[in-house]
Structure 1
C-alpha cells in the first residue's frame, strides 16, 4: 500500500485497468456473451500485462472473488440436485478418467512435436488446478514459468471457447437478461448480505491450503446452511461483478512481457495443445450427452479441461446443470492433483522411449 501511494503513475495504471476492465466487461455482457463480466476483464488484464504495465493483483482479492462464485453456486444446490448427482457417479468417474487420459496424450504429443521438455509438458497439460500444478512442477524439476504459461494459456482458451460455444447454442439470450438471476437480486438487505460475507471469509480462511479451496469451502458451507434452512443466499449484482472481474484480472495479469518473450517461440504449440485438448473433451462431451441424455452444453462445461471458477460462472449464467458441472470439475480437480506425479512420470518415460 505504501508503494502504491508513493507512486502516482502506478495509481493511474490501476485506475486505468479498473476502468477498462469494467467497461469491457459491461460491453461483452450487453452483447449477451456468457461470462462477459469475467471475459472482458481477463482480456483487458492480458493487454495491460503484455504491454508492460507491471501490475499484480493480490492473491487474497482473487480468493475473495472465488469465494463469491462458490457461494453463488451454492444457491443452485438443492436436495433434488444432490439426488441427481448421486445417480450420475458412474458418468462422472468415467468422464474424469477420460479427461486425464486425453490430457496425458496431448502432453505426450506436445513433447514429440512441440519441442517442450517432457517434464514441463507433463505438468503444463494437466487439466486443472493451475496453481497446484505450477508448485508441484517446480518441486519435480520442471520449468515453472513455462508450466504456468501453459496452464493459463489453456484457461484463457477454455474460457473464450466455452463462452463462444454457449453463445452459439443460444445461451447468450438467457445470460443477457440478468447477471445471475438465481443468486443475484437488485436490492439485498444488510442482514442478508452480512451472513453471506461471513461464509465467504470463513470459507477462504479455513481452506487456505487446499487447491481451489477458496471456491469449494464457501460452496460447501453455503450449501449446507441453505439446505438446512439456516440461511438464504442472496448476493448483490455489484458484488458478483466485482468477483468476476477480480478472477479475470488475476488470470490476465499473469501474462507479462517477460514471460511472453521467454515462451514466445513455444506459444503456438501451447495454444495448439490447449485447443486440441478442448476439442477432444468436446467430442467426449457429445458422446456422453448422447448416451446419458444430458444436454450437450452442460456436459461440455463439465468436461472442459480446467477453469473450475470460470466454468461455474458460465454454467450459472447459461442455466446449465450447475450441479453436474461443478461435481465433475471438482472430481477432476482432485484426480489431477492425486495422479499428477504418476502421469508426469509416465509421459516422461514414454517420451524417452
Structure 2
C-alpha cells in the first residue's frame, strides 16, 4: 500500500505546484484532486489509505472547531430559519434530479437514491435494498461530490476573487494547541462508536469547538500545515476513482454533470432566499447550501475562510436529514414495487 500512497502524494505535489504556478483557485486541493483523478481512471496505482484520510479529516475537524468563538451565540438564532430553507431545497433538488435521471433511463429507485444530495453510503445501501442499481448510485453520488468541488471554487474565483487568495488565510504563523493532534487516535474511534455522521470529522470538530468556544484552547496550524492537509484530502478524493475506466466515466459524466448543475441552481435559489431573509452573505449561504459532501465542503469553507461553523452545521443537518429519511424512502419504494 506504500507505493500507491507515494504515487498519489507525489502526483498531488506536482498538481499542487502546477495549479499554484498557474494562479488557479485552491491549488493544494484541486491540483492533487485533478491529477489523481486523471491518474486513477488511466489505471495508475494511486491510493490514500482510509486510516490516513480519516486522520487528516480529524485535523480538518480541529481547524473547523477552532473557528467557534463566544460571539457565535449571537448568530446561532438564525440557523433554524436557514436550516428549514436548506431542507426544503434538498427536497426540491432531489425531486428535480430524480426526474432528470428517470428521463435518462434510470429506474425510479436508482434515480431517487442517485439524486439525493448526500449520505452516500446510506443511499447506496438503501437503494440496493430497495432494488436499485448500487453501481449507478455510487458513481452518480461520487461524481456529484467531485463536480461540486470543481465547479464552485472557480465561480468564487471569477466573481469575487476569494478563491484566488491565499487558501491558508485562516492559518496562523505557527502551531497552537498542537496537543490536540495527539488526541485524534482517541477522538476518531470515539466518534465511530457514537455513530456520528462522518465521525473522523465531527468528533474532533465538536471537541475543538467546545474548547475554543469556552476560550480554553484554540487549534491553529501554519500555512504549510493547512496545505499539507489539503494535499492529502484532495489526493484521496481523486484516487477514489481507481478502477473506473474512461468509458464508464464518459457514460455517466453527462448525466451527473447535468444533475449537479440542476442541484446547484436550485440550492443557489435557496441560498439567495437565505441572503434576502437573514442577510447572510451570498458566498457563505451558497457554500452552506451546496450539494457537496460534508468533508469536502468543510475543506472549501476553511480554504476560502467562509464561516466554517455555519457551513458545517448546514451540511451536517443535510446529511442527518437524508440518513433519517433513507429508511422511509426505501420502504416507500419497496411498497410501490409490491
* TM-score of the aligned structures, taking structure 2 as reference length: 0.89
User: Which piece of structure 1 moves more, 224-233 or 70-79?
Assistant: 224-233
Q: Summarize the alignment of residues 1-353 of structure 1 with structure 2, pairs less than 5 Å apart.
A: 4=2, 11=3, 14-29=5-20, 31=22, 33-111=24-102, 113-172=103-162, 176-177=165-166, 179-182=167-170, 184-188=171-175, 192-193=177-178, 195-208=179-192, 209-258=195-244, 261-262=247-248, 264-343=250-329
Residue pair 1:282, 1:300 contacting (<8 A) in 2 also: yes
CA separation in 1, counterparts of 2:224 and 2:86?
35
SS across alignment from 1:101: helix
Change beyond 3 A, Cα 1:30–1:205: farther
Greater Cα offset, 338-347 or 85-94: 338-347
User: Are the equivalent residues in 2 in contact too, given 1:66–1:214 (CA < 8 A)?
Assistant: yes
Stretches of structure 1 that go unaligned for 5 or more consecutive residues are 5-10
Shift in CA distance, 349/34, structure 1 to aligned 2, threshold 3 Å = farther
Answer whether contact 1:96 1:328 (CA < 8 A) is retained: no
- Alpha-carbon offset, residue 136 of structure 1: 3.3
Task: Kindly provide the CA deviation profile for residues 187-241 of structure 1, in whole angstroms up to 9, marking residues without a partner as x.
Answer: 327xx32x22134332211112432111111110011112223323122333332
C-alpha separation between the residues in 2 aligned to 1:71 and 1:30?
29
Asked whether the 8 Å contact 2:99–2:111 carries over to 1, the reply is yes
Specify the alignment match of 1:7 in structure 2: none
**Alignment: residue pair count:** 335
Secondary structure of the 1:207 match is helix
Q: Secondary structure at the match of 1:121?
A: helix
Q: Give 1:47 deviation, angstroms.
A: 0.8
- More displaced stretch, 299-308 vs 287-296: 287-296
SS in 1 for 2:77: helix
In 1, distance between residues paired with 2:74 and 2:22? 36
Asked if the contact 1:69/1:313 (under 8 Å) is kept, the reply is yes
TM-score, length basis structure 1: 0.85
